[in-house]
Amino acid sequence: MSLVPAWLQRFALMSCALSCLCFFSSSSEAYAARYFPINGYAGTFDNDRYPVSFYGFEEDRLCNYGIGFWNGNKFFECDKNGNMGGAKPQFITLDNGPSCQGLYFHNNNVNLLTHARLAESGGMSFWYQPGKNAYKGNKTRTLFSLIDFSDSDNRRLEVMTTEAGEFQIEYRTNQCNGWFWSCWWGGASIETDSLQINVSEDDWVYVSVAWDQNAQPGSTSMVFTVREPFSGQSQTISFNNESGFWGSQRLELVNSEDLYLVLGESPVGVHSPRGIIDNLRIYNDQNPRNTINYRSDGLIQRSVEDYIADQQDFGQCGASPQIDHYELRFADQALTCEGAEVRVKACANSACSQVIEDAENVHLIPAQGWQQQPVMLSAGEGTNRFSTTQADVVELGVDSNIPVQCIDLDGQPNANCQVTFSDVGFKFDTIATQLAGEPFDARLRIVKRNTNTNACETVAAQTDAIPMSFNCVDPNQCQQGINVNQQVLQDNDYTNVDVELNGQAFGLAVNYSDVGRIRLTAEKQVRVYGQSLTLYGASNAFVVKPYQLEAIPQPAAAYADTDILAKAGETFDVTLQSLNKHGDVTPNFGREQVSEALALTGVRNVLSPSMNPVVGELTVERNAKLANNFVAQAHYSEVGAIDATLSIADGDYLGSGNVNGDWRLGRFIPHHFAINDAETGIWEACEVGGFTYMGQDFSATINVSARNKQGDLTQNYHGELAKGGALFQLSADNSDNQQKVAGRLSVTGDIDWAQGSALYQPQLNFARASQGPEGPFSLSIGFQVDDNETAGPFTVIESTTVGESYSIGETQQYYGRIRLGNVIGPVQESLPIEWLAEYWSGSQFILNRRDDCTALAANFSVINADEDADGIDITLGFAGSETAQLENGVEREHFNLAADSEGVALFELNVPDFLKFKWQQNGNQNPAAQAVIGQYRGNDRVIYTQEVY
């Protein structure tokens, strides 16, 4: 299992080749050309002398959120707020600094992360300018940290500034070593020291750190130097590997593959620097030696050279840039009837990635034959045409002392700057942008120069076959051939193609199943009047772009047997592919010189729910190149299914426009359910008394909502998407009672979801046991949402797991009964009837003095009545209120009875089932009582005799 924290897994970044962004000055240009990509990082041929990575921060491309591709390599990459939960730094223009632009850490909690591919021995350097209020607030501020996040102790090397203006380096670990105070303050400082150097706000300093994890005991393991740019003042600290108070002081940052460079505040560091960092360089020392190659002044050799070069660049940003060379781009073969088009660029650097926009117009050579002279340059570029009527080889150039570099139309060097002109040759009609795998027609003609007009005219010459090839312009090498007239042509390999003259041109049926910018060529040796002649022609470089784009969702393994892609807000992978017309992957895609990429770009349509759908936010966290595919990591804020739009990441495939596609993504389900405790609870049947009789209905109110991972309401959870039902669980106060109460709770009412939430108010009932009185029970009511998903459940209430429930309240359950009091009184008097509530205490029935709730109707009936001496039946009459309510468990004021004759009668009160009792052991009955009316003389059929003693 990875030890890298989750935030790091989400935002861990790669270094990248930024040479095209970073070099402006002539001194920097000296080694700019040495940079080349190594495994996605910027590197050099000479690891001992040149930096592995150089970041000049000259273009605002630091945080290319969602795409992050440039020449196939990664920039620093940030999320919308910053790549470690804080804010991302800002670019700032420098009036007087080592370059024209720097990275400004403007506040606390500002940070940037890169996996710098650091070696066990190496170093880094950068320029730092404290900003205003940099030392305000008496706070220590972290410039950078080297942290191994695979190490549970977070061993790290930190460089900080203190509130006193000092520079401090510290080798630190989270290990406490058993000491209380070190644990209290966040770990142990193994090595620490400070440099006192006079640096005020808005002054620049050059900071250099070198390290060697392989240093032997007693040898140098770290060197830290701070140097001012002009005064020459510098201070250096060296650390040796030796034993000390904290045990071994050996510098150990563990595995260099897990060693990250964090600029600004880190998760284990302190506040951000509140200043500017510029020209960050990272050096690797790959040589097998045990000590750092550092000089007496504490800087590694290359760092000193970089310091001197940057020092010379100070204040030069506003100076007029100089032309490094002129670049001429033209075809190395041309027709005398057409001439050769020449593109001129005034290049600012050796790679010609930048131009001198205010460069003056230039004269080209030869002096004659140009369409215009001098050539007009606009924004550093211009186009001209050279023509000649002589079939000859012509050398082109610029009338200037500035060097000239020539390249052909495919970007390949033309060392002699020569173009070969012919009077006759092949000419392709212009080929427009095509789609991969879609057949198209092209036309090839033989043309010659008209000796009178010098214009091109078609020669209707018949031939059976023409050797043809094609060139990969972008990418440099193609993975597949091209089909021309049923003949497959390979890159730069001529093959005879059968042709037939149609009018004055040869028709070509072409089909290219891949993508890219390509060019068709034809070349044939002929003999004219006994002379050997080469006919040559090349088409324009045309673009073949994807026919269609495809998105293949990659659900997690847990959802393999379902139609679920992910939970709302949960990261999922989508494989993005460029396809030809036949549905095959186009292998050239992503291998362009400036790598093209695919990206999910938004939601076009909501497929479900069908009623009142809300469009959620599709957030793309990352697009990565993997083999011939791109894998997008994204999350969607809502539930349901959508049509997502995917397109070319920059909206333009090799200048030919965008390619769009729509693809179904989903189904998305809620990430979790949430309970609003303020509107959730149990309502006892007797709320004032805080109890419910077993078998009596009581109620619950549950405010439940469906949420995404970020905690936002998923409003589409309704209708056909809202499968969530209710599950309840009882928990008793002990294991014995738990067995007794299991399975006795019934629920009436369904959850009615509306826009992702519901106020659920079910009726609950805890059934009486059939065997008789029991309890009382104090029960906790647990609630869970059953997502009713196949192979689920997948979604539960927040802070619970599958099988658990969320406590919504407690209920006190009593086994209760109503008992009637006997009535004794004279005939034809209104006699009060007493009735009271009792519950089983665990050993006997006792008066329920908490019952101020039970209300009953005067629903009395006579069971039987004895006759008086005259054989007349007693008749009871009931009167009083229609209903009466208990007070402290007793009621005797509202019901009464009267009789029209003397005698005894048995009567009962009809009560709810949950208040009946087995009075006669043959099932639950209503409570009954005896009414004795008048002076009862007994039964005439009974003879009493007196015993004589």
Do 190 and 171 meet the contact criterion of CB atoms below 8 Å apart?
yes
- Residue percentage of the chain with pLDDT more than 90: 46
CB atoms within 10 A of CB 601: 18
CB burial string 167-190: b at 16+ within 10 A, e below:
bbbbbbbbbbeeeeebeeeebbeb
Categorize the per-residue pLDDT at 382 as very low, low, confident or very high, splitting at 50, 70 and 90: very high
Q: What is the pLDDT of residue 650?
A: 84
pLDDT tens for 622-634 read 766 666 678 888 9
The pTM of the full predicted model, rounded to 2 decimals, is: 0.63
| Of residues 126 and 210, more confidently modeled | 126
pLDDT tens for 152-161 read 666 677 777 7
Helix (H, G, I), strand (E, B) or coil at 559: helix
pLDDT tens for 466-476 read 999 999 998 98
Residue 292 pLDDT greater than 70, yes or no: no
Distance separating alpha carbons of residues 297 and 282, to the nearest angstrom: 19
Residue 910 pLDDT greater than 60, yes or no: yes
Do 285 and 123 meet the contact criterion of CB atoms below 8 Å apart?
yes
Q: Classify residue 137 by burial, with Cβ atoms within 10 Å: 0-12, 13-18, 19+.
A: exposed
Residue 287 pLDDT greater than 50, yes or no: no
Do 673 and 798 meet the contact criterion of CB atoms below 8 Å apart?
yes
Do 152 and 323 meet the contact criterion of CB atoms below 8 Å apart?
no
Categorize the per-residue pLDDT at 1 as very low, low, confident or very high, splitting at 50, 70 and 90: very low
pLDDT tens for 695-740 read 999 999 999 999 999 999 999 999 999 999 999 999 998 888 999 9
CB burial string 105-129: b at 16+ within 10 A, e below:
bebbebbbbbbbbbbbbbbbbbbbb
Categorize the per-residue pLDDT at 948 as very low, low, confident or very high, splitting at 50, 70 and 90: low
Cβ contacts of 223 within 8 Å, gap of 6 or more:
123, 208, 209, 210, 211, 236, 237, 238, 239, 292, 294, 298, 299
CA 225, chain centre distance (Å): 39
User: What number is the average pLDDT over the span 786-805?
Assistant: 94
User: What number is the average pLDDT over the span 915-942?
Assistant: 81
Q: What is the pLDDT of residue 66?
A: 28
SS (H, E, C) 353-419: CCECCCCCCECEECCCCECCCCECCECCEEEEEECCCCCCEEECEECCCCCEEEECCCCCECCCCEE
Residue 681 φ/ψ, nearest 5 degrees: 175, 175
Categorize the per-residue pLDDT at 685 as very low, low, confident or very high, splitting at 50, 70 and 90: very high
Q: How many separate helices (H) and strands (E) can be counted in the chain? A: 6, 73
Categorize the per-residue pLDDT at 12 as very low, low, confident or very high, splitting at 50, 70 and 90: very low
Q: What is the pLDDT of residue 8?
A: 28
Least confident range of 234-248, 414-428, 482-496, 578-592: 234-248
pLDDT tens for 159-208 read 777 776 677 777 666 554 433 333 333 344 455 666 656 566 778 888 88
Q: What is the pLDDT of residue 228?
A: 72
Tokens 């644990």 label which residue? 183
Rounded to the nearest integer, the mean pLDDT of the chain is 79
Q: What is the pLDDT of residue 64?
A: 40
